[in-house]
């Protein structure tokens, strides 16, 4: 994944609609919802690939089988510290204390976020890394704007 920022990811996704995939720990979970909320807020077409847990999603992300994932700090932090994944953003209102060098989605232009619960990250230089999954509203003036 060549994206090194949320803006670069959105640009890449918009230039390749439906071709990027994001993994989650399963359908309907907080990591899935975080991905869908980001997708909606950014007005991008990325494909959800549900896994039976974070470990297989992370394995496929590391292997390049999927483009990105949304995950928890518990699963992602060891890979992040080892330089095997790249986190683009956290979804909390503030930067995560464990990784204060990683910006929030709000800093990337997605200011309408409210956290659900827990620490969430995304991996492999992809998508958004999560301090907390977020409810996001589309930007004003977007085709999905309210």
Q: Is 38 helix (H, G, I), strand (E, B) or coil?
A: helix
What pTM, to 2 d.p., does this model score?
0.76
The average pLDDT across 85-107 equals 83
Q: For 42-95, what is each residue's pLDDT tens digit?
A: 899 999 999 999 999 999 999 999 999 988 777 888 888 898 888 888 877 788
Question: Exposed, middle or buried: residue 103 (CB in 10 Å: 0-12, 13-18, 19+)?
Answer: middle
Q: With CA atoms as reference, report the closest residue to 98 among 115, 117, 83, 120.
A: 120
Domain boundaries, the chain: 6-136
Strands 47-50 and 113-115 come out as unpaired
Give the residue with greater pLDDT, 131 vs 5: 5
CA–CA gap between residue 113 and residue 137 (Å, rounded): 7
CB atoms within 10 A of CB 139: 15
Assigned superfamily of 6-136? Periplasmic binding protein-like II (3.40.190.10)
pLDDT tens-digit map of 13-34:
999 999 999 999 999 888 888 8
What is the per-residue DSSP string for 67-84?
SEEEEEHHHHHHHHHTTS
Q: What is the mean pLDDT of residues 131-144?
A: 42
């Amino acid at each position: 994944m060549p994206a090194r920022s949320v803006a670069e990811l959105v640009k890449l996704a918009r230039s390749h609609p439906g071709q990027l995939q994001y993994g989650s720990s399963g359908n309907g979970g907080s990591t899935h919802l975080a991905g869908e909320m980001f997708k909606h807020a950014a007005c991008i077409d990325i494909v959800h690939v549900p896994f039976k847990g974070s470990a297989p999603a992370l394995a496929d992300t590391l292997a390049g089988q999927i483009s990105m994932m949304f995950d928890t700090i518990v699963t992602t932090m060891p890979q992040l510290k080892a330089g095997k994944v790249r986190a683009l953003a956290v979804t909390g209102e503030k930067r995560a204390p464990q990784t204060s060098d990683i910006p929030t989605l709000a800093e990337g232009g997605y200011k309408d976020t409210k956290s659900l619960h827990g620490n969430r990250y995304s991996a492999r230089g992809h998508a958004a890394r999560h301090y907390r999954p977020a409810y996001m509203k589309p930007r004003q003036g977007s085709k999905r704007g309210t």
